[in-house]
Amino acid sequence: MPRLVLPVSEFRLQSCFASSLASHDIAMSCIIEQKKALRSRMRRELRLQYESLAHEEDPLIQKHVMDASWYKRSRHICAYISCHSIREVGTSQIISDIFNSVHTDHPKSLYVPWIQDKQSHLKFFHIGSSEDLIANSMGILEPIPANSDGSPRSDVMQMNESIDLILMPGLAFNHAGRRLGRGGGYYDCFVKEYLLHAAKMGWKSPLLVGLAYSTQILDEVIPTDTKDVPIDALVSSSGVLRFSNHPLLNVD
């Protein structure tokens, strides 16, 4: 049987395509390794400095958030419940402020993360007090999926209104608005899913704000890929860094 001979142009096209795929795979492998190395470095630095950072910077970071006009104007907020064991920036004062806001003229509602599975699926459920939380297997406080009466807890993806603000943890950030998470991809996946949902509903995009200790803000490039979502602003003990023209950032 005669051997099939490809035209020179088609052969070159296939060769270029194969070469492009190989180059992409190599680039992705490099990014993965760079992320691993940076995560190891940041975990080591946080392990050595966390106690002093938490004591000195947690109150300042949370005050900057609560004093910000974008926080004051936000009605529906997604925020994480900080966990000491994984050395996250504290959020206890912010959480308490949101709970207490129900007694004011500008009440806020709080939605906190619940890990759905190990495939980077994250849900945010509404809670009204700390009694709605329970520790998971890692010791991280999460919302109890059902209310005390057995009814399903409100999920942000089923709301009739948009989320205004999402407060995000991370291991490292830089001055270009890039964020390095812990490697699970949970926040990036959730944010991308919610942005698509908001666009479908005709809603504005939520303001994405990272919280960071001073040692977590880097002058270097943070390795990223197409799955990584940039943030709009970053809050540290020094104040607020803005990276976008999100409408909430332009309101005084």
Summarize the annotated binding site as residue ranges. 35-39, 81, 88, 179-187
What helix, strand, coil percent values describe the chain, rounded to 5? Answer: 45, 20, 35
Which of 177, 235, 166 has its CA nearest to residue 207?
166
DSSP string, 200-218: HHTPPPPEEEEE--GGGEE
In 162-241, which ranges are continuous DSSP H helix? 186-201
What residues does 111 pair with on adjacent strands? 78, 126
> Burial level of 80, CB count in 10 A (0-12/13-18/19+)?
buried
Question: Do the Cβ atoms of 98 and 65 come closer than 8 Å?
Answer: no
Q: From the CB of residue 16, how many other CB atoms can be counted at a distance below 10 Å?
A: 10
Annotated binding site for substrate: 81, 88
Annotated binding site for ATP: 35-39, 179-187
Element (H, E) at 12: helix 8-67
- Quote the DSSP letter at residue 103: G
Q: Look up residue 61 and give its two tokens.
A: 């970071």
